[in-house]
Amino acid sequence: MSVIVTDRGFTTDDFTAGFVGLGEKAANDCGYGIDLPSDTSPDALANLTQAKMIRIDFPSSADGRGFTLAALLRRAGYQGRLRAKGHVLADQYAMARRSGFDEVEIDDALAARQPEDQWLYRADWQKHHYQARLRG
């Protein structure tokens, strides 16, 4: 099972359309979500702006390429749901939100090690954004 983390805490997955890989072009024109590996080329993102949901894999908490992909998708005009999946830690939640993710999908084991209160502590990610404070 998976746990979905939002600014309101833990919830269950409400996206029932399923996911397909990046190479399955039909996903761009239908209700499916698209799974992106963390090593997806930025050039491949331009064709994804119509996808209903994009889920970017985080194979390790030390692999930050997913944050870059999320920011690039948002800058390209992607308006759909954007989900980080995998080894994202509670300490990384604010970064995930700032880079454009709407939610994070973690497994039950990680949710047990880092309970909901640890994620909620970081849910006010805009308030503690040091770059915004520096800009005035």
CATH of the domain at 60: 3.40.50
Beta strands in 22-119 (DSSP E): 33-36, 53-58, 81-86, 103-107
C-alpha to C-alpha distance for 125 and 133, rounded to whole angstroms: 12
Q: Output the CA–CA distances (angstroms, integers) from residue 128 to 14, 58, 66, in the order listed.
A: 29, 24, 22
d(CA 74, CA 30): 20
Q: What is the mean pLDDT of the chain?
A: 88
Residue 51 has pLDDT above 70, yes or no: yes
Local confidence band at 132 (pLDDT 50, 70, 90 cut-offs): low
Q: What pLDDT shows up at residue 95?
A: 92
State the residue range of the domain holding 22: 2-135
pLDDT at residue 68 is higher than 80: yes
CA distance 27 to 4: 22
Cα–Cα dist 33/17, whole Å: 7
Domain count, the chain: 1
